[in-house]
Amino acid sequence: MLRFLTAGESHGPCLIAIVEGLPAGLSLDEEAINRDLGRRQGGYGRGKRMQIERDKAEILSGVIAGKTTGAPVALRIANLDWPNWRERWAADDLPALTVPRPGHADYAGMAKYGLDDARPILERASARETAARVAVGALAKQLLAPFEIAVGSYVTEIGDVEAAIPDLSPAELWALAEASDVRCPDEDAAARMRAAIDAARRAGDSLGGVFIVTATGVPVGLGSHVQWDRRLDARLTAVVMSIPAIKGLEIGTAFENSRHRGTQVHDALYPDGQGGVIRRTNRAGGTEGGMSNGMPVVIKAAVKPIPTTVTPQRSVDLSTGEPAETQYQRSDVCVVPAAAVIGEAMVAWVLADAMIEKLGGDSLEEMTR
């Protein structure tokens, strides 16, 4: 069992994650964690805060002489913005936010937790929390690496611009995405995506989009059909859907598949000439019967346009019950490339957990024996 909890507010001192259940003997590469943190922060369309924060993860526990010991790994990511906020927090002189932003956690959170100020809600609901998840995922990726399981992502849509994804291997698509500030392997579409982001920025608006996470090298038989909560597809779905702003998801080309006949969409098996099987298609996105089937795992996710916009949106001032307009908070225009990186992290975490479940998780040496 590989589990994690995160803690921390957007403008508090730091984010914390505890990752529990890593095997002993894994050499942790701190720079690789920071690279992933940087990948989350990059991308065309991010706001000013991304110029303030340069996330670095500090490993507080669980690693001795560079290697995991089996003990929980606590990670701390400082909020570099904190000194600017510390006094205001202490003085408690921040004005109450009483006009919930449509699309954000404000309204439901205030109702749930009995608050007349949305600030405590948005502080935790902020996507800043996902930095901790990216760090968690970076650990998971390092656990997967010795098994030659790799996880990557690319963006296929931003706003109404849809990319034509070239017919390349996942690794090749990841490399193209990595070179693109919108994480899009189609350069032509990328240019139009940037233009769309610019236009949205000028309009004081925001854009959503769609990304794909793929995982290669996944062995056959992670997850199980035997009980609902053992299914790999369900576990992947839960964790990807738990990323803020993600509201839609498909494994493989699920919606497209649903419009075709069975003989047209299932991935035929062929002998691979060495006693095993190969597939020539992967419409199933790497899972059958709730288990990995040896093909790349492919998850597509729909990211909503972020709810914080310069252009006001209609709402209600809950302190008066009167109509009101939302007020601008510093924010981004488009977070789809960042969301893709977070998606990678969460997929990596599920796969790492499933590998530990399959092989036992005492030590990397035993797992790779």
Q: Contacts with a copy of itself in 73-132 (CB under 8 A)?
A: 73-74, 89, 92, 100-109, 111-115, 119-121, 123-125
Contact 134, 345 (CB under 8 A): yes
Examine residue 148 and tell whether it contacts a copy of itself (CB under 8 A).
no
Given a contact cutoff of 8 angstroms between Cβ atoms, the answer to whether 156 and 208 are in contact is: no
- Candidate residues 142, 153, 206, 216; the one interacting with a copy of itself per rule CB under 8 A: 206
d(CA 36, CA 17): 15
H or E stretch including 129? none
Positions in 310-329 near a copy of itself (CB under 8 A): 311, 313-316, 318, 321-323
Can you tell me which residue has the tokens 């070179």? 179
Cβ of residue 203: shortest distance to a copy of itself, in angstroms?
A: 7
- Dihedral sign computed on CA atoms, order 177, 178, 182, 183: positive
Quote the least distance from Cβ 297 to a copy of itself, whole Å.
12
Binding flag, residue 200, a copy of itself (CB under 8 A):
yes
Cβ atoms < 10 Å from Cβ of 47: 17
Interface residues for a copy of itself in 26-45 (CB under 8 A)? Answer: none
Q: Do the bridges between strand 209-216 and strand 150-158 make them parallel or antiparallel, or are there none, so unpaired?
A: antiparallel
- Verify binding: residue 157, a copy of itself, rule CB under 8 A: yes
Write out the binding residues for a copy of itself, residues 212-251 only, by CB under 8 A.
220-221, 224-229, 231, 233-235, 237-239, 241-244, 247-251
Cβ nearer to a copy of itself, comparing 3 with 179: 3
CB of 147 to a copy of itself, least distance (A): 13
Q: Which of 41, 153, 180, 257 binds a copy of itself (CB under 8 A)?
A: 257
Q: Which residues are CB-neighbours of 93 under 8 A, at least 6 positions away?
A: none
Q: Please list, in sequence order, all residues whose beta carbon lies within 8 angstroms of the beta carbon of residue 177, skipping any fewer than 6 positions away.
A: 152, 153, 154, 155, 183, 184, 185, 340
Residues 251 and 241 sit within 8 Å (Cβ to Cβ): no
Q: Which is nearer to a copy of itself, 145 or 359 (CB)?
A: 359
